[in-house]
Chain A
């Protein structure tokens, strides 16, 4: 697997989006078929299976295997998870009259939806990120 090659594009993506807080420049470009309904292509609904498998292999012991049905199931679950948390975070930002979702909304969503054990590691991560970008 091309681990080192893979991480490069993400890094670029991350760098490119760095100025995002202020401007709404190219961000809207991936919304080209807007007009209200933003259609999602089938292949965009899920994260790439190879990335998911790589992460799944971490907690599984070396002699362990992962069946195809389990991989595909997790792939679906992950997209559902993202939408689930995002909706909750958006609701909270709307309730507070903000247009943009922030990290604290996300943390709130995790706590509110029963993922309390995510809050601590994620707030540490958030803290690190904020330090890093200031």
Chain B
């Protein structure tokens, strides 16, 4: 039942998300195991998008995250890369519609 990840750190991250009281071993181990699965799955699927140079890059991850429904919670962390040219277009559109809220967020990234 050994894991590749430090349990204490996982516990800390879990505790930070809400005021949880106790985190039992059962929960901690399960979370650790699933985190391992998550890393492998994400890497594997994103690597499937690698084309020529055998190197997994950010853009592959973001491509994968954009299209998976259950990874919606990562969209803010892994926004799609866009060209400055396109971004300016979005900004202009935003000005016209005066709904630039979401665009502002992206700008700060």
Contact = CB atoms under 8 A, between A and B. Distances in A.
A81 B38 contact: yes
Nearest to A56: B43
B67 interface: no
B49 to A, nearest CB: 11
Given A18-B25, A126-B26, A55 B17 contact: no
Interface of A, secondary structure class, is helix
Interface string B52-67: 0111111011100100
B105 interface: no
Nearest to A52: B39
Given A79-B13, A103-B30, A122-B30, A47 B55 contact: no
Give the interface residue-count category, chain B. 35 or more
Contact of B20 (A70, A86, A115): A86
A29 B24 CA distance: 16
A13 B42 contact: no
Given A86-B14, A90-B18, A126-B30, A132 B77 contact: no
B25 A17 contact: yes
Interface in A69-128: 69-70, 73-74, 76-87, 89-90, 99-103, 105-107, 110, 113-115, 118, 121-122, 125-126, 128
B78 interface: yes
Contacts of A48: 6, 9
B38 to A, nearest CB: 5
